[in-house]
Structures are given as C-alpha cells and as structure tokens.
Amino acid sequence: MKDVIAETTGQGPLVDPFGRAVTYLRVSVTDRCDFRCTYCMAETMQFLPKSEVLSLEEIERIASAFIRRGVRKVRLTGGEPLVRRGIVSLVDSLGRHLGRGLDELTLTTNGNQLAKHAEALATAGVRRVNVSLDTLDPDRFRRITRWGELPRVLDGIAAAKAAGLAIKINTVALRGINEDELGDMAAWCCREGHDLTFIETMPMGEVDEDRTDHYLPLSIVRAELAKRFTFRPTDYVTGGPARYVEVAETGRRIGFITPLTHNFCESCNRVRLTATGRLYMCLGQEDSADLRAAVRPSPSDADLDAAITEAITRKPKGHDFVIGRGQPRAAVPRHMSVTGG
C-alpha cells in the first residue's frame, strides 16, 4: 500500500448526536458479485465503472482513519468481497491494526471463493467470517442465487473451518421459498458447530419480484423454532444488530436481525462505507457523506478526518424501513450490494 500522511487532528472518539459511540465500520470493497440472489439483485445488473470505485489504498486509508477515532471492528463486505482483485493485500494491510486499536477484522461472503482464500484470511488475522447461505437444497440454492452451486459453497465453509476460522451462517428467511427448512438449517448449523443468524428481507434496491410476496416476520420463525429447540437467553453480542439466544440442546447460538418487525436502532454503533467512498450513517436512510472527495485530492488526512467528524453529526436516530403492499417497491433505492451487506 502507498504511504500517505496520517495526521492526527486531536479529535476524539466518534459519538453521534444521540450519544452512541461509533465503533463498527462496514466497508463494501466492491458492488460486484458472482451470484445474483433474487431478493438482492436484478438478474441484469449495471455495475459501477472502475474509476468510481475506491482503490484498495484509499479503502485502507479511510478505514485507518476510523480506527484512529475509536472504531474497534471492521467488516469487509460487497457485493462479494472475495471477487475484488487484491483483496488479501487489503486484509493484510488492515490486519496491522489488530491489537493496536482494532479488536476484530472480519468479512461477509457468499462462500463461493472461500476455499481459495480461507488460509490467507486466517494468516492475515481474520478469526471469523459470516457466510450467506439460505438453503441446503442444491436445486433451491441454484434458484435463489441464479448462478450458484451449493457444493462449492459447502467446500468453502469446510476450508474456512479447517483454517481455524469461526463461521456464522446468515440466512434470509423467505416465505414460500425456504421457510420449510429453517429448522433444518438450524439443526445443521448446530451439528457443524456454526452459529446462525436469521435475517428479514430488507426493502433495498429494485429487484425482479415483489418482496412482499416473500417477507417472513422473524417472530413467526422464532415461534416455530421454539417448538423444536429450547432457547435460553444470552447476553452474547458481536457488535452487530442481531439479538441472540442459546440453543440448550447444543450450546450453539441463533441470532435474529429484525429491521422491520423490531428495529435495532437504539443501540446502533455502525456506519457503512460504499465501494465509491460514500459514508452512510444509517442503512435505511439516503443521507451520506462523500469521503472519496476528501481522500483523492491530498495525501494528508486532515480533510478526511474533518469529513468524518461532520458526517457523524448527521447520524439519524433510526431508519425508515417499511414493507407492504401499496408501499414503493424499494424503501431505499440503492442495492445492498452497493451499500455493503
């Protein structure tokens, strides 16, 4: 990575107008993906020109500025982060902050490229990864992802486990698509030693179908799972929005992310950096700050620090997600792949 002038401005930790400390940065390193999941993307996507995408050096610079200001956790996302050329070099560069301000460096992946990169990620300091996996049925997997092959993803998960990475499975609950196997997904994760998080579909970006057809409240999912498993309360947290329970029969954890039925805004400690350098202070709001404009003109970080400080003053109290018939097809027009999942 190129050297830049990292100037400390004397500014302290990042605290928003509601007293919430910002300690978690999610970074989309690319809007591109090797899948086209039906609830996430249209089959024919228009991706960003490369000239608009942050370089790996720019991403490292911005992330380092946040770490200097108190961010303790960085998650790399996409799109699919492992399709970004040079991604391991970025992980290596960010890994130097571990133990020196940064507590955790992790990523979310669809698992398709994970077998190729698992050992390198572990060597660079990654200790756990989230793998998006909505079904264990090969035919259903192909229908949901349009292009994906389930055995390749399962091989990636096995390679990550062999490399010593802890794995959490992220499953989007979809009415009429995978609701009949969510209990089996939980049982499989328990057997394999993985934690699991269920997620409600989020109304972000135009896709080729009406999300209301497949929206499944997690209150229903949890009630059904409770017929099969014994849940115990736990104070376990990862820094993200999931609320966890422990499965008494196995000791594994199941989390629930409920942006629609029960939002998680009151404890939000997160901001998101897009692949183009826009900082979104809230996943469900359109207000953003252009950090690329603060990075590209100068090797000094003074303007970047000032832009970050100003942006955090605009972090809202909560999001405006809503889903239902009669509502706009996407509550937020940008795709999750642009924002960072």
Structure tokens at 189: 């994760």
Question: What is the rounded distance in angstroms from the CA atom of residue 141 to the CA atom of residue 37?
Answer: 9
Is 168 annotated to bind a ligand? Reply is: yes
Is 175 annotated to bind a ligand? Reply is: no
Full DSSP string of 148-189: --HHHHHHHHHHHHHTT-EEEEEEEEBTTTTGGGHHHHHHHH
Neighbours of 224 (CB within 10 A): 12
The three-state secondary structure class of 198 is: strand
DSSP state at residue 281: S
Is 270 annotated to bind a ligand? Reply is: yes
Is 132 annotated to bind a ligand? Reply is: yes
Return the bridge partners of 200, or none.
Answer: 173
Question: What is the rounded distance in angstroms from the CA atom of residue 235 to the CA atom of residue 217?
Answer: 23
Residue carrying the six token digits 């993985």: 194
**Maximum Cα–Cα distance for the chain, whole Å?**
59
Is 86 annotated to bind a ligand? Reply is: no
Is 108 annotated to bind a ligand? Reply is: yes
Is 39 annotated to bind a ligand? Reply is: yes
Is 24 annotated to bind a ligand? Reply is: no
Is 300 annotated to bind a ligand? Reply is: no
Question: What is the rounded distance in angstroms from the CA atom of residue 296 to the CA atom of residue 114?
Answer: 31
Is 79 annotated to bind a ligand? Reply is: yes
Is 189 annotated to bind a ligand? Reply is: no
Is 53 annotated to bind a ligand? Reply is: no
Is 227 annotated to bind a ligand? Reply is: no
- Binding-site residues sit at 26, 33, 37, 39-40, 75, 79, 108, 132, 168, 202, 265, 268, 270-272, 282
- Binding-site residues for S-adenosyl-L-methionine sit at 39, 79, 132, 202
